[in-house]
Amino acid sequence: HERHAIPNKSLKSSKDATPSRFVADHYNSKVEVGVERRRESTIIFLRSFNNWIKSVLIGKYVTRDGHALDMGCGKGGDLLKWNKANIKSLVGLDIAEVSIEDARKRWSDMKGRRFDAMFNVMDCFSSNISDVIPRDTVFDIVSMQFCLHYSFETEEKARITLNNVTSNLKSGGIFIGTVPDANWIVKKLKSLPKDQLKFENSIYSIRFEQKDNYPPFGHKYWFYLKDAINDCPEYLVHFPTFQKLASQYGLELVYKKRFHDLYNEVKEEPHYRELLYSMRVIDKRNEEEMSDDEWEATGMYIGFAFRKK
Ligand code: SAM
């Protein structure tokens, strides 16, 4: 089942390109390895865990027959989750052309598909969503999984993003997502010896360029995640700043949990327990779970939900 991404010609020069071009090229150049290969990688439990978290969030907040927008949808890794949640339609947007092609193909090849979808290449942090969707589109739910932090490069980008999230979201509609927890990251950074700017384990590394200034936007660090993200620039999302900004777009926080807390909160509930086994977060045969290093890496994320007033 191996498929290879189309080689991206602009990759060579991408280090010099704009940050969003750099990020797009990074995701474009990732090779689609297929389910079997993924399970051999050393972060299989972490990947499964992140998928499980997203399933929980989607399951908690999606309404049947809803219209969904997935911003930064990537290769469409959440398509099965949307199908299971019985949505009526999906708009998937991402800046990485190759990922959008993959998502579109995955959707059209999907067995037992029950929803309509359209996929578009778009820089969701710089341009307006009305360029790609009809003006009268109304979403019940907007999802941004593991991508909002790229928009915290500047306040302007964060605002454009939130405008895109909310402009077609119905009142009472939900905005869900997952982001790294700036508090957790900064605590780690501050606990380092004076002149050190990097911390890591065998799964991930985070490297800052300085630790004297803590600007609300554009606080850059370099992130590496084994077999997934190869030293990509990311930006801290200080949650209170995000929440305050979001409130200016009519968004009210209804849920915020660190992944570990979310896990502990629902893992014994029969439905979610079954999902932990079926999504292979826990190996049912021997109750094996992820390694300590994977667990530490998953601990840096937060799942959230806002409701539009
Ligand atoms: N949401 C997917 C998931 O959970 O599997 C993909 C997550 S991946 C870590 C981050 C995604 O954000 C990538 O697909 C990347 O191309 C996308 N992204 C980064 N900057 C973007 C931008 N300016 N506009 C749209 N998508 C962007």
Residue 73, ligand 1, Cβ within 6 A: yes
Question: For atom 13 of ligand 1, which residue has the closest CA?
Answer: 74
Cα–ligand 1 centroid distance for 91 (angstroms): 14
Entry pTM: 0.89
Residue 77, ligand 1, Cβ within 6 A: yes
pLDDT surpasses 90 at 40: no
Q: Which of 104, 283, 254 is nearest to 177 (CA)?
A: 254
Cα–ligand 1 centroid distance for 73 (angstroms): 6
pLDDT digits (tens, 9 = 90+) for 147-190: 999 999 999 999 999 999 999 999 999 999 999 999 999 999 99
Task: Point out the ligand 1 atom lying closest to the alpha carbon of residue 70.
Answer: 1
Which residues touch 271 (CB under 8 Å, ≥6 apart)? none
Task: Point out the ligand 1 atom lying closest to the alpha carbon of residue 151.
Answer: 23
pLDDT surpasses 90 at 253: yes
Cα–ligand 1 centroid distance for 308 (angstroms): 23
Cα–ligand 1 centroid distance for 150 (angstroms): 8
Residue pair 157/147 in contact by the 8 Å Cβ criterion: no
Residue pair 266/272 in contact by the 8 Å Cβ criterion: yes
pLDDT digits (tens, 9 = 90+) for 131-151: 999 989 999 999 999 999 999
Pocket mutation for ligand 1, best pick of 71, 95, 259, 301 (most atoms within 8 Å of C-beta): 95
Question: For atom 22 of ligand 1, which residue has the closest CA?
Answer: 123
DSSP 211-252: SS---SS--EEEEEETTTEEEEEEE---HHHHHHHHHTTTEE
Rounded CA-CA distance 199/206 in Å is 6
